[in-house]
Structure formats: C-alpha cells, structure tokens
Amino acid sequence: MYDVSFIAEVLSGSVVHRGRQIGEKISGFAPLNEANEGQLSFYGNKKYYNDFAATKASLVIVQDLEDIPPTFTSSVLLVADVYAAVTQLYQMLSPQKVITPGVHETALVHPEANISDAVSVGQLTVINSGALVGDHTHIMDQVYIGENVQIGKRCIIYPGVRILDHCIIGDDCIIQSNTVIGSDGFGYTPSPDGEMVKIPQLGKVILEDRVEIGSNCAIDRGSLKDTILRVGVKLDNLIQVAHNVEIGSETVIAAQTGIAGSTTLGKGCMIGGQVGIVGHLNIADGTKIQAQSGMIKSVKKPNTAWYGYPAIDYSNYMRSFAAFKNLPDLLLRVKALENQLKEKD
C-alpha cells in the first residue's frame, strides 16, 4: 500500500478530487485500461483519451486539468510533467538489488588486471591483462573483457556481454546482455585475383559517460579512427553501429537500426526503429528520423524531421503519402476524362 499524500509530496503534485473521494492508500499501479479501484495510473498521450474516460483507477497522474474527460469522477494528481513524474515514481519504487563487492571463485581475472576492491565480478567472467575496472561497477556472469579495456565507475555489465581489446567505457554506463563492443568493422578490399582481403581494424570503441546499450547490439571498432558514442547516448536492442561512426550526446536510437561506417550523428537526435543510415553522412543536431526510414544524404539543418525511403522532409512525406493513397481514384478519373475526349473526337 502506498500513501497518497506521500506520493503527491514526492512528485511535487496536488490531488484534485472530481466527485468520488479516494482513500488514503493506493494499492498498486496499472495502465488506464487495466487499473481498478484503489489503483493509480497516468495519462500523458491523447491517443489514450478513451481509456482515460473509461478507467476505473482511483487516481490518475495528469499535467493539465483541461484533459480530464467530463465523465471522469475519480481524482487526479496534477503534476508539471507526467512522464517526468512517472519516471521519478518508478525510480522510487524500483527494487534496489544489493551488490556485494568481490570476485566469484569461478571468474578468471588476469593478475595484471586492475580491479577495484569495490567491484563485483560474477561467475565464469573473464578479465584479461591490462583491464581497468572502476569503483562500484557490477560485472555479471559470463562477461568477457579483453586486454587493456577500461571501464569506469558505477557501470552495470549484464551477462554475456563481450567488450573486446582496448575499448573504453565511461562512468555510469549500462550494457545489456549479449552485446558486443569492439567487434571488427566490416572492411575488405579486392585483390587483383578477386579475393576479398580483410582490412585490419586498428581503432577502438569509446563509450563516454552515461551511455546505455540494449541487448544484442554490435558496435564495431574503428578502422583507423575510433567509433565514439558521446555522453548520454541511449541505444535500444538489436542495433548495428559500424566502424568510425560517431553518435552525438543524448541521442536516442530505437531497435533494429543500422548505421553504416564513418557516419556522424549530431547531438539530441531521435532515430526510430528499423532506420537505415548509409555511410559517410553527417546528420545535424536534433534530427528526428521516423521508423523504417532510409537516410541516403546528409542533413545540414538542425531540428528537422524525416520520413520514408529515401527519407524526405516529414511534412512533405505526409502530403505525398496522402496523394499516393488517392492514386487509384485519380487514375479512374483520368481514364474517364480520356474516354470523354475520345467520344468527342
């Protein structure tokens, strides 16, 4: 049970009653369409207005009283920003796992690795020579850390992660299971007899502070220069980042996106799922690319939105798509006009 006044105080919100008074306690949390009496939910997207109108939740977090449906008779918790409040609430209620420093007896740590006494290392993890791991980092089971890898403080490395030689991980980074950091970039050149000869990849991968990487991602080391993810970059699952790519600070990228070699993404970009970005492009700060788009040219103007394949200006795409949907009707009208002209001839 959660005290309503405590929740309101933590979220810096105020409770507004709409007819039916709530009790002093909230029994739990649920989506609008699943919540029952005594539970709390939140409303922050107009797509869910009908769910808001029909919800049985006793208390709903909102940021604008004008959004409340006329039929809603329960109570709301008015806050400045719904999603910031919900995030704060989740953080407060999230169970904190106690991490005990120490190296599991089955882990293989090279004598020349430098591991802080405040680090936790899980079962069957391998840490090679020259590796450096900072205070309060939690390395879980079956992780592989290559030679001369540097990992900062307070990082969380989930099971099955591979961080290959010479890569650098900053402070407060999170790397989810089965991601590979520092795999060879995809570089080959044809020999005179037609054989594809592998080009050595001599760079490394650098993750700056507060970078989060989802599960099953592959981030390739650079060929000569480094592959770099700047401060606060967030990657979803199943993302490919090729050699020499640089991703600007606080950029977020959704699942199944692929970024080809030597492309630079600016700061604060938002990249949807299944986006493909060809190599050697420069994408300006604040660029938004809609899901399943294909970028084949650089973006010079900051804070623009793109959609489609090949991607074009978002507004232009939506107008073009509206016309495209009407093409069958337009063709019928053109044929009708052609037939009228033939009859006149």
Tokens matching residue 96: 């904190």
What's the rounded Cα separation, in Å, for the pair 327 and 322? 9
For residue 60, what is the enclosing H or E element? strand 59-62
Q: State the helix-helix crossing angle for 327-344 and 314-325, rounded to 10 degrees.
A: 50
Give every CB contact of residue 286 below 8 A, 6+ residues apart in sequence. Answer: 266, 267, 268, 269, 302, 303, 304
Phi and psi, residue 237, nearest 5°: -75, 160
Structure-derived torsion over alpha carbons of residues 301, 306, 310, 312, reported in degrees to the nearest 10: -70
What's the rounded Cα separation, in Å, for the pair 93 and 86? 11
What's the rounded Cα separation, in Å, for the pair 62 and 81? 8
Give every CB contact of residue 12 below 8 A, 6+ residues apart in sequence. Answer: 79, 80
Q: How many CB atoms lie within 10 A of CB 213?
A: 27
- Is 243 among the residues known to form the active site? yes
Active-site choice (136, 138, 166, 243): 243
Note every long-range contact of 61-66, with CB atoms under 8 Å and residues 24 or more positions apart, other chains counting: 61/11, 61/13, 61/85, 61/86, 61/89, 65/16
> What one-character DSSP code corresponds to residue 315?
H
Q: Which residue has the tokens 């709903």?
A: 60
Burial grade of 148 (CB within 10 A; 0-12, 13-18, 19 or more): middle
Nearest to 127 by CA among 142, 319, 224: 142
The residues annotated with a catalytic role in the active site are 243
